[in-house]
Amino acid sequence: MNNNLNTESIRQLLNHSSAQLGQPTLARLCDARTQALARYDARSTTPVFAWAGSTSTSSGHTTGSHRSQYYWAAAVLFVALLFSGATYWQHVIEHDNSDVDIAILTDDLPIDVYVE
């Protein structure tokens, strides 16, 4: 194997100014930087939904359909939490009323008196 790249030559290569790079190389580097920044922005704007799955396509951009899926999933979860909480709360209320209900039903006045 040809070992022409000694320490000195590597130092010289690293010290090359960007001005010395060719135009196509500079353009490719610029594209890569732009893509990396775009991917970073997309990730940082959707941190809440990151747990639900990847938000990036192969090009690195979040699509509208993906985002709407996460909104739907979050909405379903929210509604389920509300429903579950309401059911539990109603159960607690009904449980607390059983004593009063027994008292009404066993009172010497008919229940019609208390019902409009």
Partner 1 sequence: MLRLLTPFIVAALLCLPAMAGAEAWTELTPMQQEALAPLSKDWDTLFKKQQQHFLKMADHYPTLTPVKKERFHKGLVAWSKLTPEQRRRAREKYQAFSKVPSEQREQVKQMVREQEASKAASSVPPVMPAH
Tokens 């607690």 sit at which residue? 92
* C-alpha span between 53 and 62 (Å, rounded): 12
Nearer to partner 1, 62 or 70 (CB): 70
User: Is residue 46 within 8 Å of 55, Cβ to Cβ?
Assistant: yes
Q: Which residues contact 29 (CB under 8 A, 6 or more apart)?
A: 21
Binding residues among 52-81 for partner 1 as defined by CB under 8 A: 52-53, 69-70, 73-74, 76-77, 79-81
In the complex, minimum distance from the CB of residue 111 to partner 1, in angstroms, rounded to a whole number: 5
Which one, 37 or 80, has the nearer CB to partner 1?
A: 80
Q: Residue 4, Cβ neighbours under 10 Å: how many?
A: 6
Residue 116 makes contact with partner 1 by CB under 8 A? yes
Residue 88 in contact with partner 1, rule: CB under 8 A: yes
Q: Least distance from C-beta 45 to partner 1, angstroms?
A: 19
